[in-house]
Structure 1
């Protein structure tokens, strides 16, 4: 149902820039990155006369680079100081004692006032737990052998409490970032914006294994959730289009993140592409621009097939699910996301199982469990079938000379139906249990669209319409 080779191509491509995006599974994190720290600067980053390369050539930094050099040295000093191993027995006496005794030489503060301000800053950032704050400074992690188990248990219960992260930066700047159902993309984006890099690793023996949806309904439900999360990020302050320009995110990496969040919007032109063949058949009109449009789509698919190196069967399966998901889950996610972010209306789709026992090969693959997402692709199928019937009827009434242009129109309509074939197979295999409301709404929408298009007839000029009705008089 989903070609994982296509995803691997994307991850491998990003590996040469700043690293692949965090896709929510099969990942290991550096705890310093998860705690919101900046990466350790290398000696190359601290060179005062470093060459800045761009698409237009290279140039040397001027006088402004000296100030940045000093700031980077200070940052380097503090970043390197975030690796010490603290004595947990001293921490048990309280946050103030630990900061006053241990942090003066670690964090580089000389006076007590600055030290207390740093203490409050860390408490606001990580919460009211001195043991946990000390643990965030340990690069390798782990607990020193001098730790008191009773104190450690008490602090652990305090940290995992529901109200611990209130009025802190958890979920805003550190940890998993809140504000989207796809918190993995948002969290990885924040890490890359700070300058961290990720590395793609695919060993011969799988390092991680997990379960995946095996039927079309569960898969569409998952795709709906991902697309909704992308729309939420697109309409938030963390949108890659305008967020993090003062950070260390590379331009191509930013473009990759933008592509990750705007892809649900492609459902709108995709729906138009799927309806165009039916429009041409119903209105008996065809344009060379439509033919060039579909040829460009075919050419793009062929190039993807060659560049990816995958088999044609895997590529075709990915194309089928792209059309099915684009005309259903992605389309619903766009409108649901707009309602949720702009109007504050949280629309939930109810998932209900319509059958428990399935017979036949791959029966579970074509199980449908809810009604809302079935309407758009079913409408597209019905509309193209109506267009095929209308086109054949017109050709029969017009004579053999109209059969030539008809074959081209029929090819495009059949091409759309072929993309929706897995969906159609599941729908026909459950004709006795397909919700009646889905059939009624799909036929109703297809009929309304067909009659409205015939009534408006936008491809015919006003003078031609008047001549056909005999109302043009001497102007004919």
Structure 2
């Protein structure tokens, strides 16, 4: 938040993310901005309410009911937009498109908004799946910022919205880099230029510069190196599971084969889960398809890592192996390091937060079958 929101603010205004926000009533009720919308807050604060308690009570009963919005534009042109898992993003986009201006304000004062975040890995992945699914639905709808915001908001703000709307689509290149280089390493297929070649410099520059810049930003915001490593790990887990499942569900919905439901994020954990959370242990004690994918990819990376060690140790020409597969071996070892909590849950942990046996068997079997595929012509 320390980087994204100031960046959005500079590009035309931060988006509404459902919390930590104040709305002007006219903006939320669908009114277009004009000069009459300016408010004298000092005069407004001195206004006295003359209605008696009985009238106010009856008014509140109407607002608290579930029927006050029937046969109205509420949910369409007024209030939060309905019909999307990421209704706050659509609402936040429609407000500046009507001429209103949003600003990012983060004064140095006591905390004004408090929230509860998920404390288990699966809950967090499910939450991000819902967010990514909603974002991608927005991108494929008439509310896509490039269409809905055309000639209404600056182009740079339209593109800034696309960064979140394409979370689900970004799962595909991530899966490619997680699966294909490691698989090709097992099959002795080089994908990158030789380390001794000058053509390796663009690849090395992009990888090193991007990670160094990311680490610098994280440290500048007050984080630590260990926290940055954990952030990279969660980035990998979300893209290979939450975002990929969101992409598949959205496509199936568009084809008429699926009708996803709104999944409520459970934010209350039992005592054992809370204790492991305080001990900074990831929670894997659920036979979720997301964990099957996560563990299968981790096993494939591990098998590829063993294959790389075998090439480096038992191959007569070590320098040739390092030269041909240097970048692939480095990528494989980095993925193995990021997946360490998965290996710990699969092989070593004996508590209820360890990986369930069915997930372990499925992942090892799948990774073994993939690694033994013969692609020779």
TM-score scaled by structure 1? 0.66
Deviations 1:271-319 (A, max 9, x none): 1111233123211122335955465233212223345634544433322
Match of 2:21 among 18, 27, 31: 27
Secondary structure at 1:23's aligned position in 2?
A: coil
CA contact (8 A) 2:285 2:355 kept: no
Structure 1 position 451 matched with structure 2 position 361? no
Give the 3 Å change call, closer, same or farther, for CA 400–354 of structure 1 in structure 2: farther
User: What CA distance in whole angstroms lies between the structure 2 residues aligned with 1:231 and 1:369?
Assistant: 29
Q: Which residue of 1 aligns with 2:272?
A: 357
User: What CA distance in whole angstroms lies between the structure 2 residues aligned with 1:15 and 1:350?
Assistant: 30
Give the 3 Å change call, closer, same or farther, for CA 397–148 of structure 1 in structure 2: closer
Q: Which residue of 2 aligns with 1:414?
A: 333
CA contact (8 A) 1:265 1:330 kept: yes
Structure 1 position 367 matched with structure 2 position 286? no
Structure 1 position 208 matched with structure 2 position 113? yes
Q: What do you get for the CA RMSD once the two structures are aligned?
A: 3.3
Q: Which residue of 1 aligns with 2:212?
A: 302
Larger Rg: 1
- After TM superposition, the structure 1 stretch with the greater mean CA deviation from structure 2, 169-178 or 216-225, is 216-225
Q: Which residue of 2 aligns with 1:73?
A: none
Q: Which residue of 2 aligns with 1:388?
A: 305
CA contact (8 A) 2:292 2:363 kept: yes
What is the 5 A alignment of 1:237-256? 237-246=142-151, 248-256=152-160
How far apart are 1:144 and its partner, in Å?
Answer: 6.0
User: What CA distance in whole angstroms lies between the structure 1 residues aligned with 2:326 and 2:300?
Assistant: 18
Deviations 1:221-268 (A, max 9, x none): 22222112212212322121211325x312111111111211221111
Q: Which residue of 2 aligns with 1:232?
A: 137
- After TM superposition, the structure 1 stretch with the greater mean CA deviation from structure 2, 284-293 or 230-239, is 284-293
How many pairs align? 357
- After TM superposition, the structure 1 stretch with the greater mean CA deviation from structure 2, 422-431 or 335-344, is 422-431
How far apart are 1:214 and its partner, in Å?
Answer: 3.0
User: What CA distance in whole angstroms lies between the structure 2 residues aligned with 1:186 and 1:283?
Assistant: 46
Q: Which residue of 2 aligns with 1:404?
A: 322
Q: Which residue of 1 aligns with 2:3?
A: 9
User: What CA distance in whole angstroms lies between the structure 2 residues aligned with 1:332 and 1:274?
Assistant: 16
Deviations 1:12-38 (A, max 9, x none): 112223221112221111111111112
Structure 1 position 277 matched with structure 2 position 181? yes
User: What CA distance in whole angstroms lies between the structure 2 residues aligned with 1:435 and 1:354?
Assistant: 19
Secondary structure at 1:328's aligned position in 2?
A: helix
Q: Which residue of 2 aligns with 1:75?
A: none
TM-score scaled by structure 2? 0.82
User: What CA distance in whole angstroms lies between the structure 2 residues aligned with 1:157 and 1:355?
Assistant: 36
- After TM superposition, the structure 1 stretch with the greater mean CA deviation from structure 2, 349-358 or 336-345, is 349-358
Q: Which residue of 1 aligns with 2:62?
A: 158
How far apart are 1:149 and its partner, in Å?
Answer: 4.4
Q: Which residue of 2 aligns with 1:121?
A: none
- After TM superposition, the structure 1 stretch with the greater mean CA deviation from structure 2, 337-346 or 25-34, is 337-346
CA contact (8 A) 2:121 2:282 kept: yes
- After TM superposition, the structure 1 stretch with the greater mean CA deviation from structure 2, 196-205 or 335-344, is 335-344
Structure 1 position 336 matched with structure 2 position 275? no
Secondary structure at 1:321's aligned position in 2?
A: helix
Give the 3 Å change call, closer, same or farther, for CA 10–363 of structure 1 in structure 2: same
User: What CA distance in whole angstroms lies between the structure 1 residues aligned with 2:270 and 2:317?
Assistant: 48
CA contact (8 A) 2:185 2:308 kept: yes
Secondary structure at 2:168's aligned position in 1?
A: helix
Give the 3 Å change call, closer, same or farther, for CA 298–212 of structure 1 in structure 2: same
Structure 1: tracts of 5 or more residues without a match: 1-6, 42-78, 85-138, 458-464, 466-476
Give the 3 Å change call, closer, same or farther, for CA 141–256 of structure 1 in structure 2: farther
User: What CA distance in whole angstroms lies between the structure 1 residues aligned with 2:5 and 2:148?
Assistant: 22
